[in-house]
Amino acid sequence: MKALSFRYVGKNIPRNDIVEKATGKLRYLADHPRGSTAHGRLLCSTVPRGRVLEVHTEEAAKLPGVLRIYTPRDDPGFFFNSAMSFPDQPDLQDERIFTDTPLFVGDAIGAVLAESDEIARKARNLIRVEYQEAEPLLNPGKALESPSFRPGHPQALEGIMAYGKEPLSRDGTLETIHTVTTPRIHHAAMENHLCRAFLDYGDVLVVESPCQMIFSIRFVLSRIFRRPLNKIRVIKAPLGGTFGGKQEVILEPACALLALDSGRPVRLVLDRNENIRSTRVRGGVTGTVRTLANREGMLLHREVETIFDAGAYATGGHRVTLAMGKKLSRLYRIPSQIYRGYTTFTNTTPSGACRGYGSPQIHAVTEISLDLLARKLKMDPGELRIKNLVYPGDKDPAGGPDLGNARIRDCLERGMEAFRWKERRSASFGEERYRKGVGLACATHGNGYYGTPYPDFLSMALRICEDGSVLVNAGLHELGNGTLTTVAQIVAEVLDLPPENIFVSEGDTQLSPFDAGCVASRVTYVCGACALELAEKVRQRFLRQMAEVFAVSSEEIRLDNGRAFLASGKSFSYGEAVCFIATKLREEVGDYLHYKPKGNPASFGAHFAEVAVDTYTGLVRVTDFLAVHDVGRAINPRLLEGQIFGGVQMGIGMALTEELTWNSRGMPKNDSFSRYHLVNSPDMPPVRVLLVEEEEPGGPFGAKSIGEICTVPTAPAVVNAVNAALGTELTELPLTPERVLAALEKLEEREKKG
């Protein structure tokens, strides 16, 4: 669709709920009045591996206000996987609600239900648990070779991607091998996980959750509690951030169990430290890259091997390993590649979905290595990439979906110019103590599930009401990312009325049509396209109905800003027209659409970072940043920019300060914000954003995703900048001051010798 000027698309329409949020009126799940709700708190393992011998609850049970104490005996005995959404998925099902063989510190072994949260916490503190402890498995490398601590399940899973053949001749080639490690990350959404459940009219189990996939929750619960899907109602609650952390089915089973057992509405909450310990983390990766290139910088062959630490349970861990492999063939034209991905398990918090779903890790591995290859070739890192980046229309040699209108070259070239890359790169930076450097990185990510084993489809309903206002009924999830606003803008553009007149619903499994979820960067490209097509369908229907009612031809009717104009000069508001249609035709002005995407094009981004390193203290500051993204079309530029700012904050954290660690006894070392450092306001650099809008076919008005890719090239750009500033080869993320100084010391020693 080529329109010369849009009324709403491309405009900075304010978020649909921004005023509610600014006034504090928006109620998140924790803000609802208590009423008769009972309060649940999880009882979690304090040992990383072992068996629960005995749970002494006598003292706790005596506390007035305690309703029930749950132990491993109360587990329904059904093994599930919190990342599954359909029965045919092959993921290993090794999770239980309450386990008697905890596999990490934080693993749920029971719960306390009480009249108030205070009583629940007090009772919980009076419970004494006896464990038989076993030696925890903590190192992923060792874990790969060790016997499995989950009986009946393998300790390692393997995924392979390969295409082409490695050239036999080494004439005129250069080879590099690097190993890069990425840290385990806490999502750090400001709202902790929580859940509410109760039994409702018609014996329907209602679960309210700030989540990303209502239908997955319903599926898992129906399995565990053997309930029909239409007797489980999952409602998406307003959500205070997720970044993938609330994508899996984590608290809902326990909350449902407590509600079904007690007959009371139950609220189950986690504090921050419980959240860090007991939910999910971004899995850490150790990746080794072997690259073969010719002297001119053309990449000939690449081999990547990754070890992914999935933590204690399967969850979606191996999916991330497979997702990582898929990205390797979609950024550069490399004639042959081999990827071997290993997923292994340690007695630590399970890995799950986290913004980028493996892309940040695999790009850190390959983009840092690529920069070191450029150094060996004595070539500018930007130039090296330009020689190898994919072109618009390229196919995926590994067999994935076509790349579509791939504009990464535009991103890189425009970015290099806007960042004054060549100038900054060649300028001699800094005095002795403070050194500056610039670095860049490129990345790719997808737009949904098409072409993967997971089904991508949805349906939507849309109707125009008797007063001209519009209702869009879809199983959507607003994460604070602008889902509802974007869909409203698209519909507004097609139906030609202001977005404020359009209400877009959030998901409710009892009432909403199916949607695969706000995941996999599919909302703009897939849900947005569905909304567009549906709005078009309703528009055509509306015109036909008006033509019939007003006895004109539909081509003579012009729609403009909520009014229908006839050739005769008469005009009617949409509402008036809807009423005429209702009384004269006895029909609704609305429709339903089934939608499935026909492609999964790539989104791209290039990030540029300037850093200043204090070579005395090892502290690194990012002093300037540019993010250039191939977005097809920006439906709402300011929302898009906001996503990018947030993604950059997350990526800088991954590069410099964020790392979840466990001690040798399997205890989490930094399960609080005082020891787990996000980038805070003093350290956020200025970030400039450039958008490449060349339209992606299949996307609504040509738009494609930004939500995840905006955090993918960030960390390698920052690391590359530090390596450029110091001449080091830092490959262990995050670049803590200790690691920076150690690398400098190593460099100094090498220089002394050599």
Partner 1 sequence: MKIELTVNHVPRVVEVSPEMRLLDLLRETLGLTSVKEGCSEGECGACTVLMNGKAVTSCTVLAFQARGSDIVTLEGLAQKGELDVLQQAFVDNDAIQCGFCTPGMIMAAKALLLESPSPSDEEIRRGLEGNLCRCTGYLPIFRAVRDAAERLRNHAG
Partner 2 sequence: MRRKDCETMRADRPSSLKELRNILEQRPENLRFIAGGTDLVLHLRRFPNEDLHLVDLSSLEELRQMEIREKALCIGASVTFDELEKSLLVRRHASSLARAATQVGSPQIRNRGTLGGNFMNGSAAADGIPPLVALEAQAFGEDETGKEYRFPLEGLNRSENPLLRNPFFFLKGFRIPLKEHGYSDFAKLGSRTGVTISKLNLALSCSFEDGRIQNPRIFAGALAPYPVRCSRTETLLISEKAELPEFLQSLGELVRHTIPSRDSMPYKRRAIRGLGEDLWKRLQEVRS
Rounded-to-integer distance, Cα 401 and Cα 625, Å: 32
Q: How many residues at the interface with partner 2, by CB under 8 A?
A: 26
User: Which of partner 2, partner 1, none is residue 391 near (CB under 5 to 8 Å by kind)?
Assistant: none
> Of 225 and 673, which CB lies nearer to partner 1 in the complex structure?
673
Q: Which helix (H) or strand (E) holds 314?
A: none
User: Which of partner 1, partner 2, none is residue 12 near (CB under 5 to 8 Å by kind)?
Assistant: partner 1
Q: Which of the residues 633 through 672 are near partner 2 (CB under 8 A)?
A: 657
Helix ranges, 195-267 (H): 214-225, 252-262
> Which of 232, 470, 648, 654 touches partner 1 (CB under 8 A)?
648
User: Which of partner 1, partner 2, none is residue 645 near (CB under 5 to 8 Å by kind)?
Assistant: partner 1
Rounded-to-integer distance, Cα 102 and Cα 348, Å: 10
CB 427 to partner 2: min, Å: 24
Q: Which helix (H) or strand (E) holds 341?
A: strand 336-344
Position 126 contacts partner 2 (CB under 8 A): yes
> Which of 203, 686, 738, 753 touches partner 1 (CB under 8 A)?
686
Site string for partner 2, 410-429 (x = CB under 8 A): --------------------
Q: What residue type is 506 in one-letter code?
A: E
Q: Find the part of the chain contacting partner 2 (CB under 8 A) among 148-156, 339-347, 410-418, 741-749.
A: 741-749
User: Which of partner 1, partner 2, none is residue 178 near (CB under 5 to 8 Å by kind)?
Assistant: none
> Which of 171, 203, 423, 738 touches partner 2 (CB under 8 A)?
738
> Which of 8, 198, 243, 701 touches partner 1 (CB under 8 A)?
243
Tell me 29's DSSP state: G
**In 427-476, beta strands by DSSP E:** 434-445, 458-464, 470-476
Q: What residue type is 287 in one-letter code?
A: G
Q: How many CA atoms lie within 13 A of 468 on its CB side?
A: 20
Q: Find the part of the chain contacting partner 1 (CB under 8 A) among 8-16, 45-53, 424-432, 585-593.
A: 8-16
> Which of 28, 225, 514, 592 touches partner 1 (CB under 8 A)?
28
**Alpha carbon 747 to chain centroid, angstroms:** 37
Site string for partner 2, 686-725 (x = CB under 8 A): ----------------------------------------
- Judged on CB neighbours under 10 Å (0-12, 13-18, 19+), 122 is middle
Rounded-to-integer distance, Cα 438 and Cα 67, Å: 60
> Is the distance from CB of 622 to CB of 610 less than 8 angstroms?
yes
> Is the distance from CB of 265 to CB of 36 less than 8 angstroms?
yes
Cα dihedral 445, 448, 451, 455, rounded to 10, equals 150
> Which of 65, 76, 397, 618 touches partner 2 (CB under 8 A)?
618
**Which positions ≥6 away from 180 have C-beta within 8 Å?**
286, 287, 289, 364, 365, 368, 369, 731, 732, 733
Rounded-to-integer distance, Cα 26 and Cα 22, Å: 9
CB 690 to partner 1: min, Å: 15
> Which of 57, 192, 315, 603 touches partner 1 (CB under 8 A)?
192
**Which positions ≥6 away from 378 have C-beta within 8 Å?**
none
> Which of 97, 113, 137, 188 touches partner 1 (CB under 8 A)?
188
User: Considering all CA atoms of the chain, what is the largest pairwise distance in Å, rounded to the nearest integer?
Assistant: 93
User: Which of partner 1, partner 2, none is residue 479 near (CB under 5 to 8 Å by kind)?
Assistant: partner 1
Q: Find the part of the chain contacting partner 2 (CB under 8 A) among 174-182, 183-191, 482-490, 736-744.
A: 736-744
CB 438 to partner 2: min, Å: 21
Q: Is the dihedral of CA 109, 113, 117, 121 positive or negative?
A: negative
> Which of 65, 164, 167, 241 touches partner 1 (CB under 8 A)?
241
Rounded-to-integer distance, Cα 728 and Cα 430, Å: 16
CB 741 to partner 2: min, Å: 5
> Is the distance from CB of 557 to CB of 577 less than 8 angstroms?
no
Cα dihedral 254, 260, 261, 267, rounded to 10, equals 50
> Of 28 and 592, which CB lies nearer to partner 1 in the complex structure?
28
Active site residue 708: yes
> Which of 6, 7, 11, 30 touches partner 1 (CB under 8 A)?
30
> Of 76 and 618, which CB lies nearer to partner 2 in the complex structure?
618
Position 742 contacts partner 2 (CB under 8 A): yes
Tokens of 26: 């928006």
Give the relative orientation of helices 637-656 and 359-377 as an angle to the nearest 10 degrees.
70
> Which of 467, 745, 746, 749 touches partner 2 (CB under 8 A)?
745
> Of 486 and 657, which CB lies nearer to partner 2 in the complex structure?
657
Q: Find the part of the chain contacting partner 2 (CB under 8 A) among 222-230, 418-426, 487-495, 731-739.
A: 731-739
Q: Which of the residues 669 through 688 are near partner 2 (CB under 8 A)?
A: 674, 677, 680-683
C-alpha closest to that of 290 among 174, 434, 144, 172: 174
Q: Which of the residues 420 through 479 are near partner 1 (CB under 8 A)?
A: 479
CB 38 to partner 2: min, Å: 18
> Which of 645, 695, 729, 747 touches partner 1 (CB under 8 A)?
645
Residues in the chain: 754
Site string for partner 1, 255-284 (x = CB under 8 A): ----------------xx------------
Q: Which of the residues 477 through 506 are near partner 1 (CB under 8 A)?
A: 479-482
CB 737 to partner 2: min, Å: 7
> Is the distance from CB of 328 to CB of 164 less than 8 angstroms?
no
Catalytic residue among 191, 208, 693, 708: 708
Position 122 contacts partner 2 (CB under 8 A): yes
**Alpha carbon 710 to chain centroid, angstroms:** 11
> Is the distance from CB of 631 to CB of 640 less than 8 angstroms?
yes
Where b means 16+ CB within 10 Å and e means fewer, 73-98 reads ebbeeeebbbbbbeeeeebbbbbbbb
| Residues catalogued as catalytic | 708
Contacts to partner 2 by CB under 8 A = 118, 121-122, 125-126, 271, 433, 614, 616-619, 621, 657, 674, 677, 680-683, 736-738, 741-742, 745
- Residues near partner 1 (CB under 8 A) are 12, 14-15, 17-28, 30-31, 33-34, 187-192, 239-241, 243, 271-272, 479-482, 638-639, 642, 644-650, 672-674, 678, 680-682, 684, 686-687
